[in-house]
Amino acid sequence: MFKKLLLMTVLAVMAMSPAALMAQAEIINGFDADSFKPFAYMDENGVPIGFDIDCVNWIAQKKGLTVSHQPYAWDSIIELLQNKNINMIASGLSVTPERAERVAFTIPYWSIKQVVLVAKDSALTLDEVLTGGKKIGLQLGTSDLASMDSSNGQNGRKYETVGYTSVDLAAEDVINGRIDAVVMNDDRGFAILKNQPLKFLGYAGIPDEDFAYAVSKDDAELLNALNEGLQELMTDPAWKELIAKYELDQKL
């Protein structure tokens, strides 16, 4: 009798669609542990919030998925996904050719520019920051840092990049005079400028980027669910509500 019941259980599981199996399992979304406002961060009670967090929660509710959001060091986030320690990344992740070789991206949902911020009382010009050998802080593991490094020495550009675990720490070092400037995406920059004695100097002169979610290359079911969910969300009134909630309609 036991063997018969076990066989029936196994056959029932095998008969379930991949989508049904995915709906039963917990999907782990890895996000930036060092805060990436307004896209993914912890509130004062340690609860994950942000534009990406809310968007994924909306999609999960519509698709019948169970998603938990877990913070991880950003410079190892792609490796964690490849090793299947997490199921997806929804945390302001830029689409790059290098990353596309390692993970599968959803459709893009947001576009960004990279901005240069300096101390509020700084007399530096944008040209001096980008061509005068100044120290520029960027977050480790980001496409921003890779782009700034690859363009250094080209077309008169000359500076020293300094890596940080978060742009918040880089911003603190700008304020304290340890480095000259910090580069980050424009939406993050807008959020930081509201609370820190910094000012917008201009754009960093590196290519604009798109944000998308990432999954393992062999996880077609989750990729399809996220793509469908994003398409539904971006045509739903909730999309504009979330943009307004996190002030993404406000630009530098």
What value does the mean pLDDT take over residues 73-88? 96
What value does the mean pLDDT take over residues 55-77? 96
> What are the structural domain ranges in the chain?
23-111+210-245, 114-207
19: pLDDT confidence band, cut at 50, 70 and 90?
A: low
CATH, domain 114-207, list 3.40.190.10, 3.40.50.920, 3.40.50.2030, 3.20.20.60: 3.40.190.10
Token pair in block for residue 177: 């005079």
| pLDDT > 90: percent of the chain | 85
pLDDT (tens digit per residue) in 38-52:
999 999 999 999 999
Q: Bridge-partner residues for 136, per DSSP?
A: 161, 181
Angle between the N-to-C axes of helices 167-175 and 186-193, in degrees from 0 to 180, rounded to the nearest 10:
50
pLDDT (tens digit per residue) in 142-165:
999 999 999 999 999 999 999 999
Q: Domain 23-111+210-245 in CATH: superfamily?
A: Periplasmic binding protein-like II (3.40.190.10)
SS3 content of the chain, % helix, strand, coil (to 5): 40, 25, 35
Q: What is the pLDDT of residue 23?
A: 55
Asked whether the domain spanning 114-207 has the same topology as the one spanning 23-111+210-245, the reply is yes
